[in-house]
Amino acid sequence: MEISNYMRDEHRMCDEAFAKAEQAASSGDFTEAFRHFEEFMVDTLKHFDKEEEILFPTFEEVTGSSEGPTQVMRYEHNQVRGLLEQLKDAIDKEDRERFFSVADTLMILLQQHNMKEEQMLYAMCDRVLASQAHEVVEKMKTH
């Protein structure tokens, strides 16, 4: 399996959970919104961990560079982590207006972030890590 396919599938899974959280919040069901948000947050943070602890270091080791795309992705991951905390707070307070304000910011950031990863970084990983792609994906699956 290509790295890009595996990681793209994880993006889609996270997107689906987030959409369900937004739907529930929109209808005022904050218990359900929290359940889906928690799934989204856990899956997103696990995805970041896989990238930051397995994929990025492997890519950096092979390319000899920790500057560039992986550095940008780590910075954006930290931005997302901050927004996740703000969203959790909005759900805890059942603040619908704040939830959707933060959710809009998060969605824009994630769409741009995922597009950069999917169109640039993952394609680079597929090329540079071709000989060890299967091993890298298996490590991420069990992480």
In this predicted model, what pLDDT tens digit does every residue of 41-90 receive, in sequence order?
999 999 999 999 999 999 999 999 988 899 999 999 999 999 999 999 99
Contact between residue 53 and residue 143 where contact means Cβ atoms under 8 Å apart:
yes
Instruction: Give CA–CA dist 42/44, Å, rounded.
Output: 6
Max CA-CA distance within the chain?
50
pLDDT tens column, 3-49: 999 999 999 999 999 999 999 989 989 899 999 999 999 999 999 99
Residue pair 3/129 in contact (Cβ under 8 Å)? The answer is yes
pTM (2 d.p.): 0.94
**C-alpha separations of 4 from 34, 49, 81, 124 in Å:** 30, 16, 23, 9
Domains of the chain: 3-141 (1.20.120.520)
